[in-house]
Chains A and B, each alone.
Chain A
Amino acid sequence: MENVLELKDVWKIYDLGKIKLEVLRGVSFYIKKGDFVVVLGPSGSGKSTLLNMMSCLDVPTKGQVFLDGKDVSVFSEDKLAIVRGEKIGFVFQQFNLLPHLTAIQNVVLPTLFRGTSFQEKTERAKEILSSVGLSSRLNHKPSELSGGEKQRVAISRALINNPEIIVADEPTGNVDSKTGAHIMELLENLNKKEGRTVVVVTHDAELEKFSNKIIRIRDGNLIKK
């Protein structure tokens, strides 16, 4: 199987003036197509920064990030934006839905920046929302939805552009355990049934059981088991 994502000696150093903060210290790993990866680490371990590198939200200070064989660490900001829109689906801990848009509008949002027509994508958004059990919530705003429902809208939004990888940052962090289990089940289904590559970043070791590959991080270094 080909590598969808590969990090080679990735460093992220924040220059805070007097001190240089090394958040990632030479991280290397790869993710194959169809993997379900859990990135595990305590807070402050650098896992959020690692997620930013993997999802093209940020570029490393040193090292390379290959997405689909292309070195995105040298991409311009706009090029990264296009890559994010096409190949990455985001699921955030805080859901990050736009409050003044309805569920379906939030789901369609990423297609806007790809020049595709809203109309044809609206049909697809409906299908996706139905598949996560939200067919009766299409025109509700985030404030009218429960935490679990919001996260399902966020997952639907991640799927709208048919991305290579779904990157989830603490997807169960803001919902109760029962809902959390449901969210994970949903991600597992996307991985098993649709063969999508899923990366979950968490501090919750419970989620290990869903993965076929675990990446542990502490103080900016990967821990080999």
Chain B
Amino acid sequence: MNTEYFKIALRNLKSRSMRSWLTVLGIVIGIFLVVSLLSLSEGLKDSVMRELKMMGGDILIVYPGDGSDIVTTMMGGVELKDKEIEAIKRAEGVDIVLEMPFTGSVVRHFQETKMALIYGIDLDDGLPLLRDNMGWEMTSGEFPRPGRREVMVGNLVPKDLFPEMMVGDSINIQGKEFTVSGVLRSLGNKQDDLVIALDLDDFRSTTGKREGTPVAMVQLYEGYDAEIAAENIERELEQSMTRRRDEDSPSFSVMTSETVTNMVDSIMGTVQLAVIAFASIAILVGGIGIMNTMYTSVKERTKEIGILKAVGAKRSDITKIFLFEAGIIGIIGGIGGVVLGLLLAISVEIYFSQIHPVFYLEAHISIWLILFGLGFSFAVGCLSGFFPARQGAKMKPVDALRYE
């Protein structure tokens, strides 16, 4: 019996196709926003999380400044000096401390001269750490060896920066010659993939920066609890700073992979909440559109309602017919919105991965998001159709039949 109501509803919608499609459009826009924005923001979260996962659980990151404002810390040039590095090394549980100073520098490859970001990495201690815990691998060539004036480059360097570059080429950094020993596999974001990394000693002598690093990575002894180690490091750092009365003692932060993950999680959660809030407004407007259309429809079809009631239609039958109509508008709008939303999400993904790779964004398309989009649009349709349908159902057959 319900299939017949469905057919009736469909026929009614078809007989007013222009109005029906416009009403559908209202829902399409709302669902389109929900699906595209949620799948993209979820994808963004995924890619950030994937990068974080490369950072193992026994790795800590230490940087100066308190955790509330990383940008100021990074931009302000505040650095961890050798004394602080020593203090970190003293902390219980700490195995290796890796300084990762970086700076922008002029780099020349044959006739081409460009600005590039150069990193200093302790090739003896640091390389194994990066290899094992941060997923650094070579796509071609080999890791550089200390004392041989070798560098490794990010995978976008031979593509974007110096298009002709090959392993074995020599490059000139601030007047000193180095040999490219290998190309790194992608590290997951454009900034890291444009890096030129050299031995820490070479970095120091080339750039003239004798000490200091804006960030240090700490590897713990296997099995040592990350939270306890973080406390140990903080204690050692505080002690080392109180000894230096003559200087302002900057604060510092120790981050475990867990705190970083939580931070990203909460930021992305806020973003998604905002996305849902805005998209909900769009869907609400769509729902009001459905309600408007259905009220008009009920009014126009007063006579028809009278006829249906005369030949035996109960209130519930009339309600169902109109609810089906509203529900169909909702679900068609939902399908349209889901399809368009996914199309946009996939286009954005293609744009970032192939056409303009600033960073690696994969749209997160989950079956749940699709089902949610469809279910939500159907529910909005039915809810919006409910009051008009009830108004139709409540009409007295005599009055409805007399209506012209």
Contacts and interface: CB of A to CB of B under 8 A. Distances in A.
B312 A114 contact: yes
Given A100-B15, A112-B1, A85 B316 contact: no
Contacts of A92: 401
Interface stretch (A74-82, A125-133, A210-218): A74-82
Interface string B308-333: 11111111110000000000000000
A196 interface: no
B312 A82 contact: yes
B316 A110 contact: no
Contacts of A85: 311-313
11 contacts: A52-B398, A77-B315, A81-B317, A84-B309, A84-B311, A96-B307, A97-B307, A113-B312, A113-B313, A157-B311, A161-B312
A84 B307 contact: no
The listed residue with most A CB atoms (<10 A of its CB), out of B303, B306, B309, B311, is B311
Given A57-B397, A58-B396, A81 B4 contact: no
Contacts of B396: 58, 77
A114 B282 CA distance: 40
B304 interface: yes
Interface residues of B, number: 24
Nearest to B311: A110
Nearest to B313: A113
Contact of B315 (A78, A86, A97, A101): A78
A97 B306 CA distance: 11
Contacts of A114: 312
A114 B308 CA distance: 12
A82 B317 CA distance: 11
A81 B15 contact: no
A113 B317 contact: yes
A98 B308 CA distance: 9
A49 B310 CA distance: 14
Contacts of A100: 11-12, 15
Contacts of B316: 78
Contacts of B306: 96
Interface string A82-121: 1011100010100011101100000001101111001000
The listed residue with most A CB atoms (<10 A of its CB), out of B1, B306, B310, B314, is B310
